Amino acid sequence: MQAKKNSSAFPDFNLIEASTTNNTLAGFPAYKIVWTYKHPTYGMRKLVEFGTVVNGKTGYFVDYAASVDKFSKYLPVAQAMKNSFKISISKGILQ
């Protein structure tokens, strides 16, 4: 989080939530972070990111970003898309 907070890519960064409990991505334990920042063209944006590491070596993450005023409106669609994300492991190989 400190890297995002200090990054010029995320001006006015504000961490809203950071959690590693009760979150999953494709059935694997995941972290969840929610933050806002000021995009130079689009204004204030709100983002949620879920991420996981599988077999200790391969990372996956899913982000949803929208303007602060439209974030809640489209969040159910983003959640459905996140919930449909699958990671296949066949004979110990990620696919």
CATH code for the domain in which residue 14 is found? 3.40.1000.10
| E strand map for the chain | 14-19, 24-25, 28-29, 31-39, 43-54, 58-67, 89-90, 93-94
Residue with the larger pLDDT of the pair 65 and 9: 65
What pLDDT score was predicted for residue 37?
95
Mean predicted confidence (pLDDT) in 28-47 = 96
The model scores a pTM over 0.85:
no
Element (H, E) at 83: helix 71-84
Q: What total number of domains does the chain contain?
A: 1
Residue 62, both tokens: 């899913």
Going by pLDDT thresholds of 50, 70 and 90, the confidence category of residue 9 is confident
Q: Which domain holds residue 13?
A: 2-94
What pLDDT score was predicted for residue 55?
86
